[in-house]
């Protein structure tokens, strides 16, 4: 078995940052009316700027594959050239198509000129960590000497007004708009576009910041809890999901079957509690002392959860002081599967890290409540 190091990190955020006041310029007005929920959601999530792969007319400027490729290209240098890449592992919530896989499309964008091993992790926020874990295990086992791993999103294209206009008209007729529209509109004001990428190698680089990956753990609570975030389906009264394939095609638009939806009641009930439970399990498993942690990078979808997450961690004996926490949500928005990559890249290249420091990564996924965490050592 080999040690595994993150030897380089790179980020790509498309276009210029978009302020709260500009959001509907890019995403459009549903039925030409200003959103009634926008101000409330933004006040709670504390996001002030985000990035969109759109122009001000709502036209796409990049695909998800292109965003991911641009982040990956930042990893290449004289020590690791494009042609040296043999393994590409990527994760996203928002691939550009159902098939081919996201990794296939990124491989094509990179124009490497040769065949490589590829892996696509699907799902929600944890798909980025799943992609990282595939690369980590491949290098650790000696299957590959290096791996390129990335997490990315292009959710803005899912959130443009034209995707909701037809549904809004139907909901007004049914007098259901206040309830149903919120669970669909909620995420319009939460999500951002971007990508982050890591180069994993089995040896650290001299005279550079390297992060040794000590372990990565995963937990799923789907055996206990129904789906909370979902797309390509509709939740039934018993909590089950009915697939898009089981609906007549003329219902896909009427019911916004492909829209990403969030059940906020279930979210509030479980997201923090299960996150603390899973992290406590990892600290017990690895006999890890909470005081040994120097930096906590916890992905949160909204600033609404910031205080609560710290409190829930403290309840299970993981009381990390505020000076150890690192957040960039307010500046870049919620990039889902790419968020932890972008946050770690910013910290890694900040010049603030010291040899021997421990970095804790925590990522929740509200899809059906799955969690991941990882421990890194600065070396």
CA distances from 174 to 129, 169, 293 (A): 41, 9, 53
pTM for the model: 0.95
pLDDT in the model for residue 91: 98
Residues 242 and 200 in one domain: no
Average pLDDT for 255-281: 93
Report CA torsion sign: 95, 97, 103, 106.
negative
Domain boundary pick from 212, 242, 260: 212
Domain boundary pick from 151, 182, 212: 212
Contact 93, 336 (CB under 8 A): yes
Residues 199 and 263 in one domain: no
CATH code of residue 61 = 3.40.47.10
Residues 231 and 194 in one domain: no
> In this model, does residue 171 exceed pLDDT 80?
no
194 secondary structure, DSSP code: E
Residues 63 and 116 in one domain: yes
Per the model's pLDDT, the better-predicted residue between 254 and 47 turns out to be 47
Residues 176 and 58 in one domain: yes
Residues 280 and 197 in one domain: no
Q: Cα 117 vs. chain centroid, distance in angstroms?
A: 23
pLDDT in the model for residue 49: 98
> In this model, does residue 168 exceed pLDDT 90?
no
Q: Please state, for a pLDDT cut of 70, what percent of the chain lies above it.
A: 95
Q: How far is residue 76's CA from residue 287's CA, in Å, rounded to a whole number?
A: 37
> In this model, does residue 124 exceed pLDDT 80?
yes
Residues 117 and 236 in one domain: no
pLDDT in the model for residue 163: 84
Give the total number of structural domains in the chain: 2
Residues 97 and 225 in one domain: no
Nearest to 212 by CA among 49, 3, 2, 22: 3
Residues 147 and 251 in one domain: no
> In this model, does residue 47 exceed pLDDT 60?
yes
pLDDT tens for each residue of 48-71 = 999 999 999 999 999 999 999 999
Average pLDDT, the chain: 94
pLDDT in the model for residue 164: 80
Q: Supply the range of the domain harboring residue 283.
A: 214-378
First to last CA, the chain: 19
Nearest to 343 by CA among 358, 356, 354, 330: 330
pLDDT in the model for residue 256: 83
Per the model's pLDDT, the better-predicted residue between 342 and 260 turns out to be 342
Q: How far is residue 354's CA from residue 311's CA, in Å, rounded to a whole number?
A: 27
pLDDT in the model for residue 17: 98
**pLDDT class of 169 with cuts at 50, 70, 90:** low
Burial class of residue 246, CB neighbours in 10 A (0-12, 13-18, 19+):
exposed
Per the model's pLDDT, the better-predicted residue between 30 and 171 turns out to be 30
Q: How many CB atoms lie within 10 A of CB 185?
A: 22
Domain boundary pick from 212, 228, 248: 212
Q: How many CB atoms lie within 10 A of CB 158?
A: 18
Q: Cα 93 vs. chain centroid, distance in angstroms?
A: 7
**pLDDT class of 253 with cuts at 50, 70, 90:** confident
Residues 197 and 223 in one domain: no
Q: Please state, for a pLDDT cut of 90, what percent of the chain lies above it.
A: 87
pLDDT tens for each residue of 176-231 = 443 335 666 788 999 999 999 999 999 999 999 999 999 999 999 999 999 999 99
Residues 221 and 144 in one domain: no
Residues 174 and 97 in one domain: yes
């Amino acid at each position: 078995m080999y040690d595994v190091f993150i030897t380089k990190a790179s980020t790509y955020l498309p276009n210029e940052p978009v302020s709260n006041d500009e959001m509907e310029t890019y995403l459009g007005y549903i039925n030409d009316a200003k959103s009634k929920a926008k101000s409330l959601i933004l006040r709670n999530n504390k996001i002030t700027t985000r990035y969109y792969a759109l122009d001000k007319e709502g036209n796409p400027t990049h695909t998800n594959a292109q965003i991911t490729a641009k982040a990956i290209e930042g990893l290449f240098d004289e020590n690791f050239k494009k042609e040296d890449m043999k393994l590409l592992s990527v994760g996203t919530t928002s691939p550009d198509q159902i098939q081919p896989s996201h990794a296939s499309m990124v491989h094509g964008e990179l124009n490497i000129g040769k065949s490589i091993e590829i892996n696509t992790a699907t799902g929600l926020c944890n798909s980025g960590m799943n992609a990282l874990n595939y690369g980590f295990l491949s290098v650790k086992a000696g299957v590959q000497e290096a791996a390129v791993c990335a997490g990315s999103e292009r959710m803005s294209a899912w959130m443009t007004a034209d995707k909701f206009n037809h549904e809004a008209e139907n909901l007004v007729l049914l007098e259901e708009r206040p309830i149903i529209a919120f669970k669909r509109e909620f995420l319009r004001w939460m999500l951002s576009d971007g990508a982050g990428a890591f180069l994993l190698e089995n040896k650290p680089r001299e005279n550079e910041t390297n992060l040794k990956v000590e372990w990565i753990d995963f937990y799923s609570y789907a055996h206990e809890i129904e789906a909370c975030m979902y797309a390509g389906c509709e939740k039934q009264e018993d909590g089950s999901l009915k697939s898009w394939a089981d609906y007549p095609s003329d219902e896909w638009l009427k019911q916004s079957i492909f829209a990403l939806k969030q059940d906020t009641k279930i979210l509030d009930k479980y997201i923090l509690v299960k996150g603390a439970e899973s992290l406590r399990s990892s600290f017990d498993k690895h006999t890890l002392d909470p005081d040994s942690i120097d930096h906590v990078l916890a992905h949160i979808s909204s600033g609404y959860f910031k205080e609560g997450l710290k409190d829930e961690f403290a309840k299970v004996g993981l009381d990390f002081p505020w000076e150890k926490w690192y957040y960039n949500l307010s500046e870049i928005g919620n990039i889902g599967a790419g968020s932890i990559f972008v946050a770690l890249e910013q910290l890694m290249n900040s010049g603030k890290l010291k040899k021997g420091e421990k970095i804790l990564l925590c990522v929740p996924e509200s899809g059906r409540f799955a969690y991941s965490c990882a421990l890194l050592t600065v070396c």
